[in-house]
Amino acid sequence: MSAAKYGRLKNFIGGQFIDSTADRVIPVISPLDGTFLAEVPCSTATDLDAAVRSARAAFPRWSRTPIKERVQVLFRYRHLLETNLQELAALISEENGKTLGEAVAEADKCIELTEFATSLPQLVTGEVLEVSRGVECRTEHVPLGVVASIVPFNFPAMVPNWTIPNALALGNCMILKPSEKVPLSAQKIANLLMEAGLPEGVFNIVNGDSGIVESICDHPRIEAVSFVGSTRIARLVYQRTTQHLKRCLALGGAKNHLLVLPDAKPDMTAQNVAASMSGCAGQRCMAASAMVAVGNIEPIIDKICEEARKIVPGKNLGAVINRESKERIERYITEAEQQGAKVLVDGRGARVPGKENGTYVGPTVIDYVRPDMAIATEEIFGPVISIMRVDTLDDALDIENANPYGNAASVFTQNGGYARYVIDRASAGMIGVNVGVPVPREPFSFGGWNESKFGVGDITGKSSIEFWTRLKKSTVKWNPEAGVNWMS
């Protein structure tokens, strides 16, 4: 193998990029064309200790800096994200495999997330009330201390920015554990934060895979852990951190259903379905993966196929993360076909000329999928939509409700009553009406239900305030005349 384009990556501790003490590294390969990008160290507990020490040292000063001053760093970071947008987007695309357009949209979303964090001084005000003559009670949101954020491969910059700006604005010091598959964007983020004037030690990066995640869960000086990734690992991380009595919010995988009614607008529905199932090569936790066709919607299914055929790998469709993932997705399609489903648009065996080492799967539409097939119930994480046919909206909701996940569900209809019926009955945290990817924008918060999220509250928006802070309640008596038993 030739030398890695970005060499061996370092951790970021105390404001410096420093070598890990790891003796094991993992290669980082671009899904776009197989380029050997970097080697990422599997950091050790010693590395994590160094990061925690640096974050703890920074915490007293950072947490006592007034919030209006703390967010000045984020105003500058936001500006730097804008001036470095193309460079960050190129890195996202290179390491993750998404198209440049999708990577630009991801970098834009980082800006929006940071903008929300700069508004936190307006939102975290406490409460005060004279509860008895001359006696006040007040509440304040105070930071937790050293916190950690563990993130997945599918949004190398956006998911870290779900947590970094809010947690830091609220006065915490953070350790980020990037996905070992896409560790490069995080290095750029660290550079931008330093350029924005973030004090050393407030933000740190420790690279690695499962071993370092376990060390984070166990570390006695890490107060809270946010996790985003698959349900299997979210469950492990939630159980392990809470066993150590830490606060944890662990977002997991998804199987999002689109319920399409016969009165849906055909063009709009088809475009939304195709975009939702294929955007970021289907590797979004909000991607449409199962479509339930209620009654006769033949013309809409025809249009979905038409839209899907316009999606071309290497042009307006990126790569899936690696060969293993490509093979797994194609296996699901083949198995469903063998079990009697009908492949209307087939993305298996996709090749992009000149990028033979890229890992592409073409858009795939499969009809007559039965609810008991693996492709109908499991997360596929590829540009694949499975269509199930039912007679009534209640049948469609039964299928949606039976799935153990609960990130998103959408309904396509022109009837407000049916839409409300679905909003009330779908078992998912985020619902769309004629919207294929119903991601709530800030100040609304992002978070699923059921096996798509373990823990209380949501990860972004106003809900994140509760996660990244704790309440201090003080009772203050200014009236010397008030009796000792002032409560009575």
How far apart are alpha carbons 383 and 325 in whole angstroms? 12
Q: What DSSP string describes 447-486?
A: ---GGGEESSS-SSTTHHHHHHEEEEEEEEE--TTS-TTT
Taking contact as CB under 6 A, which single stretch among the options 103-111, 228-236, 355-363, 417-425 is the one that binds ligand NAD?
228-236
Neighbour count for residue 112 (Cβ, 10 Å)? 14
Interface positions, 233-262, toward ligand NAD (CB under 6 A): 233, 236, 251-254
Check binding of 109 to ligand NAD (CB under 6 A): no
To the query of whether residue 110 is one of the catalytic residues in this protein, the response is no
Check binding of 210 to ligand NAD (CB under 6 A): yes
User: E strands within 279-319?
Assistant: 288-294
φ, ψ at 63 (rounded to 5°): -70, -25
Interface with ligand NAD (CB under 6 A), residue from 33, 82, 108, 209: 209
Pairing of strands 36-41, 146-150: unpaired
Whether 426 and 409 have beta carbons less than 8 Å apart is answered as yes
Nearer to ligand NAD, 180 or 307 (CB): 180
Interface with ligand NAD (CB under 6 A), residue from 229, 282, 313, 461: 229
Interface with ligand NAD (CB under 6 A), residue from 25, 107, 213, 393: 213
CB of 181 to ligand NAD, least distance (A): 6
Angle between helices 266-278 and 298-309 (to 10 degrees): 50
Check binding of 62 to ligand NAD (CB under 6 A): no
Collapsing DSSP to helix, strand or coil, 25 comes out as: strand
Interface with ligand NAD (CB under 6 A), residue from 30, 445, 452, 464: 452
Binding mask 402-441 for ligand NAD (x = CB under 6 A): -----x----------------------------------
CB of 105 to ligand NAD, least distance (A): 15
**Cα angle 180, 169, 49; round to 5:** 45
Interface with ligand NAD (CB under 6 A), residue from 102, 330, 379, 400: 379
Q: 42, 110, 280, 285: which one is catalytic?
A: 285
3-state helix, strand, coil in the chain (%, to 5): 40, 20, 40
Pairing of strands 224-228, 146-150: parallel
Check binding of 448 to ligand NAD (CB under 6 A): yes
Q: Which amino acid is at 243?
A: Q
Give residue number: closest CB to ligand NAD: 229
Query: Which residues have a Cβ under 8 Å from the Cβ of 264 and sit 6 or more positions away?
Result: 297, 300, 412, 413, 414, 434
Check binding of 175 to ligand NAD (CB under 6 A): no
Interface with ligand NAD (CB under 6 A), residue from 59, 62, 153, 454: 153
Which tokens in the block code for residue 335? 């198995």
Collapsing DSSP to helix, strand or coil, 244 comes out as: coil
CB of 126 to ligand NAD, least distance (A): 29
Check binding of 150 to ligand NAD (CB under 6 A): yes
Q: Which amino acid is at 434?
A: N
Check binding of 180 to ligand NAD (CB under 6 A): yes
φ, ψ at 148 (rounded to 5°): -130, 150
Which tokens in the block code for residue 15? 């404001």
Nearer to ligand NAD, 166 or 407 (CB): 407
CB of 215 to ligand NAD, least distance (A): 10
Interface with ligand NAD (CB under 6 A), residue from 15, 31, 41, 152: 152
Q: Is 379 exposed, middle or buried (0-12, 13-18, 19+ CB in 10 A)?
A: buried
Sequence-ordered alpha helix ranges (H) in 28-99: 45-64, 67-83, 85-96
Interface with ligand NAD (CB under 6 A), residue from 26, 103, 198, 285: 285
CB of 277 to ligand NAD, least distance (A): 14
Nearer to ligand NAD, 63 or 187 (CB): 187
Query: Which residues have a Cβ under 8 Å from the Cβ of 259 and sit 6 or more positions away?
Result: 291, 292, 294, 393, 396, 397, 400, 409, 410, 411, 412, 422, 426
Check binding of 31 to ligand NAD (CB under 6 A): no
Query: How many residues sit in the footprint of ligand NAD (CB under 6 A)?
Result: 28
Which tokens in the block code for residue 233? 């690992």
Whether 257 and 292 have beta carbons less than 8 Å apart is answered as yes
How far apart are alpha carbons 255 and 405 in whole angstroms? 6
CB of 266 to ligand NAD, least distance (A): 29
Taking contact as CB under 6 A, which single stretch among the options 48-56, 106-114, 208-216, 411-419 is the one that binds ligand NAD?
208-216
Nearer to ligand NAD, 29 or 285 (CB): 285
**Residues of the shown chain interacting with ligand NAD in the complex, contacts defined by CB under 6 A:** 150-154, 159, 177, 179-180, 209-210, 213-214, 228-230, 233, 236, 251-254, 285, 379, 381, 407, 448, 452
Point out the residues that are catalytic.
285
